[in-house]
């Protein structure tokens, strides 16, 4: 009997131990799974160094929240083009060194007042292209060094709730904050910039605001860059207007932009001083637009432009002077244009000849048919070399007279003036063909 009892006890204890061991194994497996999930996620985000600063690039990752496991010593966090809808309190509090935070092109409609707590070193906050309607100044208080704040392309509801933000943006020292943000409602304030809005109207009845700022009938404002295109600050200020259906260069391009991509639009003409407000521009992409004409003053003030892409357009030649302001140009893409090889093309070849540091591609004749497929520079060489000098003289005189005979004929002094007034030196001249 005792033996049976001991055996039963051993069986019960062994089963319990086996169950505990199984649970420990499952917990370890789950722990490894969590660790590997975090590791895989960090691998998907690109971590790199630039100019001594540490970046974590988590753009286009379909994120709905800021996850744990990211390195906390980063200087710049890029979260653009995800699916984040709300920012809760202390979302970024562990990123103590953060200097810039890019949250544009998400679906953010709610930001709690403590969402940016702990970001005492943050200087740049990008919230454009979201679904924000209302935020308050209290949200910005934890960021004493904030200098650049982007808020445009959000459906701002200009009501009493927005009063503290509007007054904060209008402080003179905050000149780089919310520059292009506009009211979406009410109707009487729609389209007005928050920076220029009379704050007294925010707490006024809607009818009063409508009366003070009536909208002229039929008035259409020219579209601006901030509402049509995406702007990126890091790693380099970029205005991305690719494939936006644009027919003209958008207005109000931020002065800090150094790269503009306007490819795959419907811009057929560049008018004078299109880029006069972006004097630090270094790259301009105008490819695939159907561009037919460039005004002589289109590139005025682009002194520092280095890369210009005009490929896949409908350009036939350049008017004289189009490239004169591009002192530091290094790359010029010209392929895919129907260049006409006649006298009008000479300016472009002349300019390239006198700017040997410019690397250009795609300059090939499409017309006339006898030069189709020729490099334009080869056509220009034939244009200058098709008439030898002795043939020119023959054609000019209309006889077989050689240049020596022509000179000899002019040595004879006609007796038409008194001898003291005659110039007794032989009169000689040569005929040159001017290209």
Q: Where are the domains of the chain?
A: 41-212, 231-385, 396-414+421-435
pLDDT value of position 423: 52
Does position 41 have pLDDT exceeding 50, yes or no? no
Q: Kindly report the CATH class assigned to 231-385.
A: alpha beta
pLDDT value of position 180: 86
pLDDT, greater one: 329 or 37? 329
pLDDT value of position 119: 95
pLDDT value of position 8: 64
- Topology of domain 41-212, per CATH? 3.80.10
Give the mean model confidence (pLDDT) for residues 9-18.
62
Least confident of 28-37, 74-83, 84-93, 263-272: 28-37
Long-range contacts of residues 318-324, Cβ cutoff 8 Å, at least 24 apart: 318/294, 318/347, 318/348, 318/351, 319/293, 319/294, 319/295, 319/347, 320/296, 320/347, 321/296, 321/347, 322/294, 322/295, 322/296, 322/298, 322/347, 323/299, 323/348, 323/351, 324/351
State the Rg of the chain over Cα.
36
Does position 341 have pLDDT exceeding 50, yes or no? yes
| Contact residues for 202 (Cβ-Cβ < 8 A; gap 6+) | 158, 159, 160, 162, 163, 166
pLDDT, greater one: 396 or 296? 296
Summarised one tens digit per residue, pLDDT across range 91-138 is 999 999 999 999 999 999 999 999 999 999 999 999 999 999 999 899
Q: Residue 25 — pLDDT band, cuts 50, 70, 90?
A: low
Q: Do domains 41-212 and 231-385 have the same CATH topology?
A: yes
Q: Residue 149 — pLDDT band, cuts 50, 70, 90?
A: very high
Summarised one tens digit per residue, pLDDT across range 215-266 is 444 334 455 666 778 888 777 788 889 988 899 998 888 888 899 999 999 9
Least confident of 15-24, 80-89, 378-387: 15-24
| Contact residues for 313 (Cβ-Cβ < 8 A; gap 6+) | 286, 287, 288, 289, 290, 291, 292, 336, 337
pLDDT value of position 10: 63
pLDDT, greater one: 274 or 204? 274
């Amino acid at each position: 009997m005792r033996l049976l009892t001991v055996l039963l006890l051993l069986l019960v204890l062994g089963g319990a131990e086996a169950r505990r061991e199984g649970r420990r194994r499952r917990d370890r497996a789950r722990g490894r799974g969590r660790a590997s999930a975090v590791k895989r996620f960090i691998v998907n985000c690109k971590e790199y160094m630039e100019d001594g600063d540490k970046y974590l690039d988590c753009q286009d990752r379909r994120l709905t929240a800021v996850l744990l496991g990211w390195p906390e010593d980063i200087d710049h966090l890029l979260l653009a083009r995800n699916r984040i809808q709300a920012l809760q309190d202390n979302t970024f509090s562990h990123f103590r060194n953060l200097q810039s935070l890019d949250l544009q092109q998400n679906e953010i409609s709610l930001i709690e007042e403590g969402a940016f707590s702990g970001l005492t070193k943050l200087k740049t906050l990008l919230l454009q292209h979201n679904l924000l309607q209302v935020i308050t100044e209290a949200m910005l208080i934890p960021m004493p060094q904030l200098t650049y704040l982007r808020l445009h392309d959000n459906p701002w509801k200009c009501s009493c709730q927005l009063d503290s933000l509007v007054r904060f943006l209008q402080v003179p020292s905050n000149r780089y904050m919310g520059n292009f943000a506009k009211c979406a409602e009410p109707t009487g304030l729609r389209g007005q910039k928050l920076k220029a809005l009379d704050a007294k109207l925010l707490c006024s009845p809607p009818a009063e605001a409508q009366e003070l700022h009536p909208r002229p009938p039929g008035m259409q404002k020219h579209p601006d860059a901030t509402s049509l295109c995406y702007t990126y600050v890091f790693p380099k200020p970029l205005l991305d207007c690719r494939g936006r259906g644009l027919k003209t260069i958008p207005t109000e391009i931020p002065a800090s932009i150094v790269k503009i991509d306007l490819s795959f639009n419907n811009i057929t003409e560049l008018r004078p001083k299109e880029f006069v407000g972006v004097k630090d521009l270094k790259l301009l992409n105008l490819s695939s637009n159907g561009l037919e004409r460039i005004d002589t003053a289109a590139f005025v003030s682009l002194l520092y432009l280095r890369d210009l892409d005009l490929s896949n357009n409908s350009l036939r030649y350049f008017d004289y002077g189009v490239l004169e302001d591009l002192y530091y140009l290094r790359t010029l893409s010209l392929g895919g244009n129907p260049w006409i090889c006649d006298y009008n093309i000479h300016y472009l070849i002349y300019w390239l000849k006198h700017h040997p540091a410019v690397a250009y591609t795609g300059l090939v004749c499409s017309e006339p048919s006898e030069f189709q497929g020729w490099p334009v520079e080869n056509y220009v060489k034939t244009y200058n070399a098709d008439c030898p000098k002795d043939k020119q003289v023959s054609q000019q005189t209309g006889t077989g007279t050689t240049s020596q005979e022509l000179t000899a004929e002019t040595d004879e002094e006609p007796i038409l003036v008194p001898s003291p007034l005659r110039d007794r030196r032989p009169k000689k001249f040569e005929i040159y063909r001017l290209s």
